[in-house]
């Protein structure tokens, strides 16, 4: 039988999230994967990778099982059995009632960047036998998790020394903006944002439209929070009364678009030991177009990186971790 | 048995369309509906309404039969039987290989506005017993046909005295722009615009994606033609090589958006005997949002008009002619 | 310009359908296509083909226009221009409120076989310059129209001398039976057959489920009518109260399945000058499986026929008339 | 913070499954949920419920997390916090390469009934502090898991004293038979069963058609295995060469249909402390029709049971455990 690591389903009580404005719990389950050697070699320390879930996800979902796609812990066991270096994985829970925080601080959601970087990183180093420096600490994720990995690679390159971004949110003009009019229409049809929210919350089976609308609301909570508005504390990029597009709010979203941030953070990105970016060429949110535009900018800036495309859409692409995890292991000096 | 009108399936040889740049035929079938009284009262003259088909449509399709929705001629017979005034309907064919001309002149498509206004109007007046003045001549249509009705109501209010626009294209930021990224992605996936075109042309069964892409190409042919480009003679609002959005091309589209044109043409619109605008509140292209914005502008400008919404999507809403045709008949002085 | 035939949209007053039990009109529009030579050569007589529309269709729909698929009259003009023999086409209207009659007599629908064979055939021969014998009279259709063509080829081979059946209903175990449970479930969900009918009739936009349910009801009207039941006069192959499958009713359906009838009518089928059967290999109602089983039986019986498959589904396969019409023209001795 | 139970992810080495004919692993992960009191009261014994996953599922998937639907362990914690009696849950893995075993012994899959009843039951009693008798042992499941619960409630009522069957497979004429023709068609389109299997196995993203076909193959492996056939060891209810339905094979399926088995096992079912059956009224596989037919038979036989319907389809109905688990807890004498 293959040697297997194990998962510890920690409960973490977050000071950063206590009393968060969205009313979400401040006690979070943070699964940590410990590789086979962790128990076998009790004196050994390991690199660590923070793996960020996508929109409407949280760490535990990375462990969800499927008949044809291994959960993240099983995937690690298989990769390690094939020779990959052993690493610890941490799976944060930054889910909010709006579907996700984008791993940012926001007055609408709460301080999820602070929770991630200021709380979880030191807690993991204190709790597990990590190699506790940026040279041995990576960050990865898919979709909104890919966004989170990239943004923290830009802003906290002193904390994270390697980044893998799968199908990450970028080029907001292409990935979010096409859904704005539909968002307005859906909210209007429901009779306004509060009735929409009430209906959404009560529906056991969420529809495709529900996700579209929640996605825009969630991004507004992350990118254009406004504590002066009630009851959600967000500015929306369209005027719900008239239906008009709001350029001012949209500008705030764009200010958090990796495509717009890359020049400013070129030095940080250049300091990474690995900057892996990939996307499926049939991404339903057009994120492969964004990834290409980012790739061109990175090239122009001389930032070393890997840009790959694969023949698939946005969903169920966890198999891309089979590519990025070994690269992260290499970059972070993980040993078999 | 109900008294019925009849349809003449005329073939019209167009000088305006001869040698058109898209290589489309210049001989067109132009169905004309003649009401029951036309044959019964050989000395009587009638108001006339030009009815414009939507994207990928042409006049004859307005006569397509369906088990649960009468063709336009049957609809007229029924309305007249219920007391509506008798009118002639003309159903132009302005279809192009790109799916439609938007009833505009363009160097990519050819001179469809000229064909419609400069050729068909006088030909109809010469061929049939019309009341040949703008007070008795209306224009109507749905979707791209609604756009055509509105744009000619703005530009040719001396020719058309009444307008009905059903689910018409407007607020291009909401109805076309959301599809741009997907258009780029589809064309890119096909290996470029020419391979995409070749594949599209060869597919017997067109897919939903095919229509999305053709729609953008067709709108480019109508709104941003450029004879200097090969082989389609259009500028696209995204750079197919890099995927970047092209603000300059988009500005040309917006210059033909009814929402942008309304102020300039307020006087013309005010001169209409009827300006009917409606849209379904679940329009898949968000055209109800555009119609509302137009409605607000018309109100602000003091332009008399009717703005209605109905509980439906974009497709199969021919029953709205049951509302607009009687209004047109009234505005154009049609008598039973 | 290509020489073109013309379509006469006759209104036919049917004695057979007057007072039909379903309450459908007895005045029907029966389009007749006359080839180019009809007017050009006033003394010439022509073979005639009756073309039967599919479920929820009627003759006029064969003339529906589409940007990428010619209507039947245009298709004929093109085929004749390419050298096919000239023929008259007749497009009967055997639509009922249940979506179709399957071109059979039934106490629920009325006498549509009698209307077709006993009324339309002699009327066409009396009205148009046909070659009025079975050697010059064919029958063709798609889907339910293909069923109608085949069943009349079996039962009325003295009237029709050639048959083309495209994607015709057969092997009812495969094409209808899979939908029975869903039919029961939909009707039950609506609260019974009458509430379902009321809801169906009132819905402007019919859903996919609507068509599934109507299809089963329509087939019951054709295959298992029962004048003793109210209000629809049909026996259903499932007990709506308990949900149980009714073998006795199903046996009545099977008795009208071409697969079950073929042995009995082998002589009639053998007498045909053409028996053309084709189907798409991705037919959504599995009709290609039925066509293969029929083909095997015909082979075993020594009945000459053509069996072809093409790479497509069930819908929008009018282009198959480009194959069958020239064959029919040949079999019926049509000349250019 | 709420008191929480914990999950042990046991690996179980099965003698029954070693060398199974399908080549599936004999080492299985069997999650066991231990309620809060398990650790808090080390001398206490608990009732146990075996919870069976649906088709393509295994025990671990019952723990899959979702933003709006708690995993089974979280659901238990919540129910216990609200006062439900404390129970142990066991989540067997009876997945096979064909998508599932239906919890039966079969020469195609292996001995999954024996594994469940003969191995897991005694192992659980030996490993955990269970109340080790049928009065305190229940079985539950959804879909194929509901089938498994019901079949073992019939066959092994001496082992399991209470049954909850959610949306369980029954009335095979309604739930499987409608898909047979499509199965034949899909396999034929692929070029046969082996090419289909090869294609299926290689597709990262399984399609809806893939699941339909796998479902039929999986049921054949469970209901009509035949070791004499190669390479899958199953008889199919349609002849892949001719497309004909095979009544003889279908009869073998029906022999395992709960609807057919209920009379024979009436005494066993009557001995249960709970027989809970429910289904959504929009079940896509028509299982609510089957549940109603079963309900009628149980009534006629005088077998006490609960039959409930809820307004939903087949998928994502884990919230029904909120109804059945408290009933099971009551029936099995679980205490808070």
Question: Which of C205, C234, C203 lies closest to C98 in space, CA to CA?
Answer: C234
Q: Which residues contact A300 (CB under 8 A, 6 or more apart)?
A: none
| Dihedral sign, Cα of residue C323, residue C326, residue C328, residue C330 | negative
Residues of chain A contacting D206 with CB distance shorter than 8 Å: 68
Q: Which of D179, D182, D293 sits opposite C244 (nearest CB)?
A: D293
**Whole-number Å distance between alpha carbons of C104 and C111:** 7
Instruction: State the smallest CA–CA distance between residue A323 and chain B in angstroms.
Output: 23
Is the CB of residue A273 less than 8 Å from the CB of residue A155? no
Indicate whether C1 pLDDT > 90: no
The reported pLDDT for the residue numbered A1 is: 65
The reported pLDDT for the residue numbered B2 is: 81
- Residue in D169, D172, D174 to test binding to C, most C beta-carbons within 10 Å: D174
Cβ contact, residue pair B206, C58, below 8 Å: no
**Considering chain C, what percentage of its residues have pLDDT values greater than 70?**
100
pLDDT, mean of residues C312-330: 98
CB-based contact (8 Å) between B56 and chain C?
A: yes
The reported pLDDT for the residue numbered A2 is: 81
Q: Which residues contact D170 (CB under 8 A, 6 or more apart)?
A: D147, D150, D257, D258, D259, D287, D290, D291, D293, D294
Indicate whether B166 pLDDT > 80: yes
The reported pLDDT for the residue numbered B241 is: 86
CB-based contact (8 Å) between A241 and chain B?
A: no
Question: Which of A317, D98, D244, A129 lies closest to D106 in space, CA to CA?
Answer: D98
**Considering chain D, what percentage of its residues have pLDDT values greater than 70?**
100
Residues of chain C contacting B65 with CB distance shorter than 8 Å: 58, 60-61, 63-64
Counting CB pairs under 8 A, whether chains A and B reach 3 or more, is: yes
Reported confidence tier of residue B260, pLDDT bands at 50, 70, 90:
very high
CB-based contact (8 Å) between D289 and chain C?
A: yes
CB-based contact (8 Å) between D177 and chain C?
A: yes
Residues of chain B contacting A176 with CB distance shorter than 8 Å: none
**Whole-number Å distance between alpha carbons of D149 and D155:** 10
Indicate whether D18 pLDDT > 80: yes
C311 token code pair: 């790479």
Q: Which of B175, B185, B286 sits opposite A289 (nearest CB)?
A: B185
Is the CB of residue A160 less than 8 Å from the CB of residue A140? no
Question: Which of C29, C164, C15 lies closest to C94 in space, CA to CA?
Answer: C29
D 154-173 residues inside an 8 A Cβ radius of C: 173
The reported pLDDT for the residue numbered C288 is: 98
Cβ contact, residue pair D313, A205, below 8 Å: yes
C222 token code pair: 């054709």
Residues of chain C contacting B71 with CB distance shorter than 8 Å: 60
Reported confidence tier of residue C241, pLDDT bands at 50, 70, 90:
confident
Cβ contact, residue pair A181, B242, below 8 Å: no
Counting CB pairs under 8 A, whether chains A and C reach 3 or more, is: no
**Whole-number Å distance between alpha carbons of B177 and A259:** 19
Indicate whether D1 pLDDT > 80: no
Question: Which of B112, B59, B66 lies closest to B315 in space, CA to CA?
Answer: B66
Q: Which of D7, D204, D312 sits opposite A319 (nearest CB)?
A: D204
**In degrees rounded to 5, what are phi and psi of residue D275?**
-130, 100
The four Cα atoms B145, B148, B154, B159 give a dihedral, to 10 degrees, of: -90
Cβ contact, residue pair B296, A242, below 8 Å: yes
Average pLDDT, chain C: 97
Residue C313 burial class via C-beta count within 10 angstroms: exposed 0-12, middle 13-18, buried 19 and up: middle
CB-based contact (8 Å) between D270 and chain C?
A: no
The ipTM of this complex is 0.95
CB-based contact (8 Å) between B178 and chain A?
A: yes
Model pLDDT for residues D189-238, shown as the tens digit of each residue = 999 999 999 999 999 999 999 999 999 999 999 999 999 999 999 999 99
Indicate whether B28 pLDDT > 90: yes
Indicate whether D241 pLDDT > 90: no
At C242, is the secondary structure helix, strand, or coil? Answer: coil
Is the CB of residue A218 less than 8 Å from the CB of residue A98? yes
CB-based contact (8 Å) between B335 and chain A?
A: no
At D244, is the secondary structure helix, strand, or coil? Answer: coil
Cβ contact, residue pair A206, D99, below 8 Å: no
Instruction: State the smallest CA–CA distance between residue D296 and chain C in angstroms.
Output: 8
**Whole-number Å distance between alpha carbons of A168 and A291:** 8
Reported confidence tier of residue B192, pLDDT bands at 50, 70, 90:
very high
CA B306 to chain centre: 19
Question: Which of A307, A258, A303 lies closest to A149 in space, CA to CA?
Answer: A258
Question: Which of D129, D137, D140 lies closest to D160 in space, CA to CA?
Answer: D137
| Dihedral sign, Cα of residue A181, residue A182, residue A184, residue A188 | positive
Contacting chains of A (3 CB pairs or more, <8 Å) are: B, D
Question: Which of C67, C73, C55 lies closest to C9 in space, CA to CA?
Answer: C73
**Whole-number Å distance between alpha carbons of C161 and C50:** 11
Reported confidence tier of residue D2, pLDDT bands at 50, 70, 90:
confident
CB-based contact (8 Å) between D286 and chain C?
A: yes
**Whole-number Å distance between alpha carbons of A174 and C28:** 53
Indicate whether B1 pLDDT > 90: no
Helices (H), chain C: 36-40, 72-81, 112-113, 121-127, 144-155, 172-175, 180-190, 193-202, 208-223, 247-254, 258-261, 266-270, 287-301, 321-331
Counting CB pairs under 8 A, whether chains D and C reach 3 or more, is: yes
The DSSP 8-state label assigned to residue D115 in this structure reads: I
**Whole-number Å distance between alpha carbons of B278 and C167:** 41
Residues of chain D contacting A63 with CB distance shorter than 8 Å: 65
Indicate whether B19 pLDDT > 90: yes
Reported confidence tier of residue B183, pLDDT bands at 50, 70, 90:
very high
**Whole-number Å distance between alpha carbons of B15 and B118:** 10
Low-confidence ranges of chain A (pLDDT < 50): none
- CB contacts < 8 A, A to B, total 71
Question: Which of D178, D89, D101, D206 lies closest to D144 in space, CA to CA?
Answer: D101
- b/e for B253-269, b at 16 or more Cβ within 10 A? bbebbbbbbbeebbebb
Cβ contact, residue pair B178, A173, below 8 Å: no
Model pLDDT for residues B267-288, shown as the tens digit of each residue = 999 999 999 999 999 999 999 9
D 190-209 residues inside an 8 A Cβ radius of A: 204-206
């Amino acid at each position: 039988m293959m040697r297997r690591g194990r998962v510890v389903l920690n409960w973490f009580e977050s000071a950063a999230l206590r009393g968060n404005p969205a009313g979400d719990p401040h006690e979070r389950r943070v699964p940590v994967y410990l590789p086979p050697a962790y128990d076998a070699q009790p004196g050994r320390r390991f690199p660590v990778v923070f793996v960020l879930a996508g929109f409407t996800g949280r760490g535990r979902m990375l462990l969800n099982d499927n008949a044809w796609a291994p959960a993240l812990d099983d995937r690690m066991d298989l990769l390690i059995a094939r020779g990959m270096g052993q690493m610890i994985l941490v799976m944060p829970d930054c889910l909010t009632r709006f579907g996700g925080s984008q791993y940012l601080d926001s007055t609408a959601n709460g301080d999820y960047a602070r929770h991630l970087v200021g709380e979880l990183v030191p807690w993991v180093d204190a709790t597990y036998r990590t190699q506790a420096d940026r040279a041995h600490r990576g960050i990865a994720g898919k979709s909104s998790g890919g966004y989170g990995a990239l943004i923290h690679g830009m802003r906290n390159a002193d904390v994270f020394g390697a980044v893998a971004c799968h199908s990450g949110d970028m080029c907001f003009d292409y990935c979010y903006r096409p859904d704005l009019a539909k968002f307005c229409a859906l909210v209007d049809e429901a009779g306004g944002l509060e009735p929409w929210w009430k209906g959404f919350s009560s529906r056991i089976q969420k529809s495709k439209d529900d996700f579209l609308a929640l996605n825009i609301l969630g991004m507004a909570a992350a990118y254009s929070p406004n504590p002066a508005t009630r009851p959600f504390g967000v500015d929306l990029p369209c005027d719900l009364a008239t239906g008009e597009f709001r350029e001012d709010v949209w500008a705030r979203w764009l200010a958090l678009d990796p495509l717009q941030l890359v020049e400013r953070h070129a030095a940080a990105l250049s300091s990474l030991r690995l900057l892996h970016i990939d996307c499926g060429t049939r991404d339903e949110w057009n994120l492969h177009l964004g990834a290409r535009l980012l790739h061109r900018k990175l090239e122009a800036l001389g930032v070393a990186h890997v840009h790959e495309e694969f023949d698939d859409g946005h969903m169920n692409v966890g198999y891309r971790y089979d590519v990025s995890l070994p690269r992260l292991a290499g970059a972070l000096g993980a040993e078999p």
